[in-house]
Each structure stands twice: as structure tokens, then as C-alpha cells.
Amino acid sequence: MKRISFLIIVLLVVFQDAAIAQEGYPLDGTWRGSWGTPGGEQTLAVVVMNWDGESINGRINPGRNMIFFEDASLDAENWVVRFTSTSKQGEPIEFEGVLENIGSYNRSISGTWTIAGQENQLVLRRE
């Protein structure tokens, strides 16, 4: 009986890290950040991304004013994520950033948020 209990404890300890590491596709989840010019007014951006096994689907600012991604991609070799959309006012939105801390739950995407041709820095952090 002691051997079985010991074996169960050893297996739980060994597989604990593997169970915690199973977080799914690296872009899945809710991401939050603020974009704007340094020292200027900042605008909150909430991005929700999902991977359906073939493509990245997403939406910006979920809720009443939500807009969907028109196109999204991930360059897995360099961990560069890109997505495009159009604001409710008809302005083109483009984002390109590098996925950082990939192995961590607290990963982030640092890049450039372009709206209506104006570039802004944006760091999205996964919630």
C-alpha cells in the first residue's frame, strides 16, 4: 500500500508541470493594452484571439462596439503576429507585433498599432 501511495505522489509531482504548461495555442485569450503617442493620450484596446485549428479569429473591444479581424496571421518562425480590421468610423486598423515570453502565462505582444495611417506603439498583455 505504501508503494502505491508513493508512486501516485511521484506521478502527480512529475505531471504537475506538464498539466500547468498546457495553455493552448500561444495567441488564444484576451489581450489588453493602451495605444497612443508617448506622453500623449492613451486609448485602451482589448483584443480577443482564438485559433480554430486552421486560422486566427479575433475581435477588438468586445461588446457593443466590437469589430472583427478581417485578416490575421502568425509568422511562427519569428513569432510575429499581424491583424487588420476597419473601425466603426471606416478607418483601417493594422497591428504588427512580436510575441514575447511565449512559454509564460504572462506573455505579451509588442508592436505597432496603425489606425488611419497614424502609427502608435502598443504592448498587449494576456489576461
Residue 38 CB contacts under 8 Å (≥ 6 apart), including other chains: 121
**pLDDT value at residue 25:** 82
**pLDDT value at residue 33:** 96
* C-beta separation of 27 from 47 below 8 A: no
Q: What is the pLDDT along the chain (127 residues), one digit of tens a residue?
A: 666 654 455 444 444 443 444 445 889 999 999 998 778 889 999 999 998 878 999 999 988 889 999 999 999 899 999 999 999 999 999 999 999 998 888 899 999 999 999 999 999 999 9
Q: How far is CA 3 from CA 6, 7, 9, 86, in A?
A: 5, 6, 10, 62
DSSP-derived pairing of the beta strands 56-60 and 43-51: antiparallel
62-74 in b/e form (b: 16+ CB < 10 A) is eeeeeeebeebeb
Mind listing the domains of the chain with CATH numbers?
25-126 (2.40.128.20)
**pLDDT value at residue 10:** 47
pTM over 0.85: no
What single letter denotes the amino acid at residue 36? G
